[in-house]
Structure 1
Amino acid sequence: MDSEREAAWELYVELATRVSVVELGEDEGLLREALSSLYTVFATTREILRRYGPAVAPRVPPGHLTFGVLAVNVLNLSIRPLLSRWHPLLTAHEATRGDHVDPVAHERRWSRVGELRAEIESVRQVLLGLAQALNEVAGVGDLITVRVPRPTTAEAATERPR
């Protein structure tokens, strides 16, 4: 159980600190960056699975899940299909960009940008669900949805360092 808890924590931190679980606004970021972030999640998840080995994927009764089952299913049923479909399509579009064309503007003019953003959002929702499960297994505080209030400009100006 300690191995599953530690593996859950590692993957939870990975998800909590990546574009993969943060909502990508319509005029924010590049789709290429989002896909690259998902590639990194894929690689990191495989690394965690290798490092912790069979301890995170023991045989369990039907209806019970392990870290290994959750992680592999998210990779193979959510992330892999998105990357397999959209990486080559986006690469082909990027290849049509002229030398003096802004990459952000070029990407946003792509006729399929809305479709890809919708699929990234769908995978993000799956990853948020995974992150919540990992949070429970790791037994830690919420790093994704809890936000620390930022002081207003006036409060920041009058606040003294301690």
Structure 2
Amino acid sequence: MRDPHVRRTHVTLPEGEFTITSDARAREAATRMFFQAAPRIGRRLDADGGGTPRNTLNSLYALFAMYRDQPKADPPPSANGGPVHWMAMAILTRGLRPFLSVWHPRLAAYEGAHPGHAPAEWEEYAAFAEALGELRRSVHPYIDGLGRVAGLPDPGLHLRRFGVC
């Protein structure tokens, strides 16, 4: 007999196409991870909304810490939760870690050398914005996959609203 609480979800990731089996606990984790990632990854750089490079990096660091610590706080169920946490780890290792390891030291050096200067005066501001766009593109399939596993009717609607795609 089939468990009515277990769902199968098809996702397309850069590694290929997968069918992920999830129980309620895995779907809850996917929902939490989706709604933490989408607004942070989609954060726009604009002076009016407070979207400065520093605010963006701080928000992404908070997401990094949350994703890194998530498996300890909410261990995945042995049979069904692994793919959800695997997608979060892919967001960390393929997107956040490389982005933060490059841009945090660059911004810190600028801020140290130019205290009080406007973020838009940073000579690497445009390159930072471009790299942020590349980060969005690289992690989009994983965040979309989390939304699909979570059971959201249209994860893309949320991703567009948050500016991820």
Question: TM-score under structure 2 normalisation?
Answer: 0.69
Residue 116 of structure 1 pairs with residue 137 of structure 2: no
Distance 1:66 1:121, change over 3 A: same
Q: For residue 88 of structure 1, what is the amino acid of its counterpart?
A: P
**How far apart, CA to CA, are the structure 2 residues paired with 1:136 and 1:14?**
15
- CA shift at 1:39, angstroms? 0.4
**How far apart, CA to CA, are the structure 2 residues paired with 1:37 and 1:91?**
15
Give the aligned length: 136
Please give the secondary structure, in 1, of the residue aligned with 2:114: coil
- CA shift at 1:2, angstroms? 2.2
**How far apart, CA to CA, are the structure 2 residues paired with 1:73 and 1:119?**
18
**Which string of whole-angstrom CA distances, capped at 9 and with x for unpartnered residues, describes residues 28-57 of structure 1?**
6211111111101111112322222142x7
Give the conservation status (yes or no) of the 8 Å contact 2:37–2:143: yes
Determine which of 151, 155, 160 is the counterpart of 1:139.
151
Determine which of 37, 47, 62 is the counterpart of 2:69.
47
Distance 1:24 1:129, change over 3 A: farther
Determine which of 31, 36, 39 is the counterpart of 1:14.
36
**How far apart, CA to CA, are the structure 2 residues paired with 1:139 and 1:122?**
26
Give the conservation status (yes or no) of the 8 Å contact 2:30–2:84: yes
Task: Please identify which structure carries the higher strand content.
Answer: 2
- CA shift at 1:22, angstroms? 3.7
**How far apart, CA to CA, are the structure 2 residues paired with 1:130 and 1:23?**
20
Give the conservation status (yes or no) of the 8 Å contact 1:11–1:45: yes
- CA shift at 1:82, angstroms? 0.8
Give the conservation status (yes or no) of the 8 Å contact 1:78–1:126: yes
**How far apart, CA to CA, are the structure 1 residues paired with 2:126 and 2:47?**
9
Counterpart in 2 of 1:94? Answer: 111
- CA shift at 1:27, angstroms? 7.9
Percent of pairs identical after alignment?
A: 27
Give the conservation status (yes or no) of the 8 Å contact 1:8–1:138: yes
- CA shift at 1:19, angstroms? 3.4
Distance 1:59 1:3, change over 3 A: closer
- CA shift at 1:69, angstroms? 1.6
Counterpart in 2 of 1:79? Answer: 96
Q: For residue 108 of structure 1, what is the amino acid of its counterpart?
A: A
Counterpart in 1 of 2:14? Answer: none
**How far apart, CA to CA, are the structure 2 residues paired with 1:19 and 1:54?**
23
Following TM superposition, where does structure 1 have runs of at least 4 consecutive aligned residues deviating by more than 4 angstroms?
A: 25-28, 57-60
